[in-house]
Structure 1
Amino acid sequence: MEDITNSFGTYFYPSSALVFYQSNGGLNDTYVEHFDMDSDGAPVNPHPLTIGEAKRLATALKIDEDSLNQLKSNGILPNNLLSFDAKSATIIWYSKAQKRELLFSEGLGIKSGTAQTSSLVWMADRELLHVYALTINRKPTANTALHYAPFFNVYESGEVCMGTVDIKATETGSIKELMTLWENYFFNSYFSHMMADHNPVDGNCVLLWESLIGTDTMFPTDRLIKSNQKLKDILR
């Protein structure tokens, strides 16, 4: 008869074993003994675990924590995704001009409601969000100029101040899920103030949003202010 065992796949055989001994005294000491295995799989040659053997064990058990935190596509990548770095969990995407629900704090004197917003470019990792505006309503190219996002709570650099919002993006592994999460965080938090006296639009930002809330008027892209960056400057 022919032995076809190897045809079923890789065969793993025992090569060594570790036995941990622990004292029941007050010091609670631990001792590790290493066994080799003979051809029959029986433990032989018992001896204290050597430094070399301990290093090989540590290498075998080492887990790359960075790889565990990497983003995954979780299916087909979204059409509006522009760039991503799985290791740093940084993603860049855009959203077209659309009607959004906007929340304003009482101090601004703007009634919360729906309004048309411009097309936006988003850059985020698991801790920080940056938002920029576009004057076009299509997928940008590397040379497309970025404009200041026409919202309160956004620094001149594009970084968003999330205030007291509890960000729970550290365990998010899906690119699409992280994109959705950040957009929801941004538009479900209250816009409250300008950052470091940065006025993101040409004219009065309060009056602009007061005129747009509750209407179907398209966002006036001529009120956007061009920044000193193009899309290629933030691509990873």
Structure 2
Amino acid sequence: MSLHPVDIVGTGETVLHLVSAVLMYQSDRGDVYATSHPVVPDAQHQGRKVIGAGVPLSKGALAKFADAVSAATAFAGFLPANLLFSSPNLIAWWAPAQVRMTWFKAAGSGKVAGHGEAAHPALVFVATPNDWFVFALAEDARPAPTTRLRHAPHFNVWDGGRICTGNVELPPTFGAEVIHSYENAFFRSHFTHPNRDKAVKYKGGIQRLWLDQLDSPDPAAMQRALVDSKETLQEAIARIAARTNN
């Protein structure tokens, strides 16, 4: 399980004292058991505290604790219209199809280099505190949980949709309020190299696709080139959430 820092914001100087601890246990089947422990002075070492004997945490107390954590970590603010899913450690949103200025930086014969306008399909982005992913959509419309995704036809994208960050600067904070910053980091970066075989269905492959797009943006040709990812939006989010929680 990965641990993430928590920011504690106060209006003045705030002193926090450790007073109790909750220990959680989980079986291989996913059963969860929790105990609550007071934090007490250590009789053998002055000034030090230890976790005392615990008592089982009831389902009601555990639910109350979970609600408090959820309230403290939930997004507070107006929801962006393109937001699809939000949890403390994962957000997903979609971007409509659009002809965009696109940059490539690659050397060698036959590789894409330079910049120009190119057609991009409708995309779904999924971001976690440490990673981000992108998928394409077969239609230029807001997807539902059961919508089947397509592989993003872009360079620098691995199987499973994970984006190779390279030297791209991601937003310093995580949450729905920085969706625009994530999109800028993706669309305004230099695409450098293909990361997967058979990324598109196009004569000449992914490099030819983008060279042709730079020569003359063609949204219909881009749409026809998309490859089925064999995952729905709901399935992709569940997979990425499980990866994040491990």
TM superposition score normalised by structure 2: 0.62
Name which of 77, 80, 94 aligns with 1:78.
80
Q: Counterpart of 2:142?
A: 139
Distance 2:72 2:99 in 1: 34
- Mapped contact 1:212–1:219 kept (Cα < 8 A): no
Name which of 212, 221, 233 aligns with 1:231.
233
- Mapped contact 1:71–1:173 kept (Cα < 8 A): no
Q: Deviations over 1:59-100 (max 9, x none)?
A: xxxxxxx88994624x320111110112x2x10111110122
- Mapped contact 2:91–2:175 kept (Cα < 8 A): no
Offset of residue 104 of structure 1:
0.5
Give structure 1 stretches of 5+ with no counterpart.
Answer: 1-48, 56-65
TM superposition score normalised by structure 1: 0.64
Q: Counterpart of 2:201?
A: 202
Q: Counterpart of 1:105?
A: 105
Measured at CA, do residues 67 and 98 of structure 1 come closer, stay the same or move farther in structure 2, by a change above 3 Å? same
Q: Counterpart of 1:180?
A: 180
Offset of residue 147 of structure 1:
0.7
Tell me the number of residue pairs that the alignment of Structure 1 and Structure 2 aligns: 172
- Mapped contact 2:95–2:122 kept (Cα < 8 A): yes
Larger Rg: 1
Measured at CA, do residues 70 and 199 of structure 1 come closer, stay the same or move farther in structure 2, by a change above 3 Å? farther
- Mapped contact 1:92–1:121 kept (Cα < 8 A): yes
SS in 2 for 1:180: helix
- Mapped contact 1:120–1:131 kept (Cα < 8 A): yes
Aligned identity (percent) is: 28
Distance 1:152 1:116 in 2: 14
Offset of residue 211 of structure 1:
1.3
Distance 2:127 2:140 in 1: 21
Q: Counterpart of 1:211?
A: 212
Distance 1:67 1:118 in 2: 35
- What is the root-mean-square deviation in Å for CA atoms of aligned residues? 2.8
- Mapped contact 2:82–2:93 kept (Cα < 8 A): yes
Distance 2:71 2:165 in 1: 26
Distance 1:114 1:123 in 2: 25
- Mapped contact 1:71–1:174 kept (Cα < 8 A): no
